[in-house]
Each structure stands twice: as C-alpha cells, then as structure tokens.
Amino acid sequence: MDKESMIIVIVVVMTLGWLVNNWIRAKHGYPLEDEWGGKTERSDSTETKALREENRALHDKLDGMQDRMIVLEKIVTDRGYGVAEEIERLRDERKIDQSSGIPLDLKKGERA
C-alpha cells in the first residue's frame, strides 16, 4: 500500500467512527459533536415537550397510587386481623382494677 491509499483509509475510518459516535449520541439523547469538536444541543419540539410533561404527570400520578396502595395493604394485612384481638385485649384490661389487681364483675355492677 502506498502513502496516498493509507491516508485515504485513515480518513475513511475516522469519518465512520465520527458518524457512528454521533449516531449513538443521537439515539440516546446526548448532545452531538459538530465538525470542530463543539457540542450541539438537541432542540426539542413542542410535541416532545408536551410528551415530557404528560410523562411527568403520569409518573406523579403513579407515585400517588403506589402510596395509596401501600396504605391499603397495611390496613388489610396489619389492621384487618388484629383489630378484634386488640378490642378483646382492651376489654380485658378494663375488667381488671389497675390499683388493686382485683377483677371487676361488670355484669353485677361492682365498682372499684
């Protein structure tokens, strides 16, 4: 290979590398390089901006729904089955006089 063809091959390889690099950057939304090494920011259209806003609103709504779902799961799993036991425990505590430790018979009307 002579020097001229070697220079042409190098220029072609460098150009292809630059094109592939810019294609990957454009695909993933990064700023593009111009021919002097500077960066060119991507300009968003009004449709893209509207889609971004809608996407942000939907993400916020989804976050709110997930928070509600967590609260509902806690109510169903934690409180649903333990409420009856808690009520019975509170009833048992009311039957015992805390100062003397003597159980009260509430049906007969005894008072501490």
Q: What is the pLDDT of residues 60-99, one digit of tens each?
A: 999 999 989 988 887 777 655 677 777 777 777 766 655 5
**Angstrom distance (rounded) from CA 27 to CA 75:** 45
**Angstrom distance (rounded) from CA 63 to CA 45:** 27
Higher pLDDT, 24 or 29: 24
Check residue 17 and give its pLDDT: 92
Query: Does residue 91 contact residue 104 with C-beta atoms inside 8 Å?
Result: no
Please tell me the least confidently modeled range out of 1-15, 16-30, 94-108: 94-108
The model's pTM: 0.35
| Amino acid in the structure at residue 82 | G
Region at 107 (left for phi over 0; alpha for psi -120 to 50; beta for the rest): alpha
**Angstrom distance (rounded) from CA 53 to CA 55:** 5
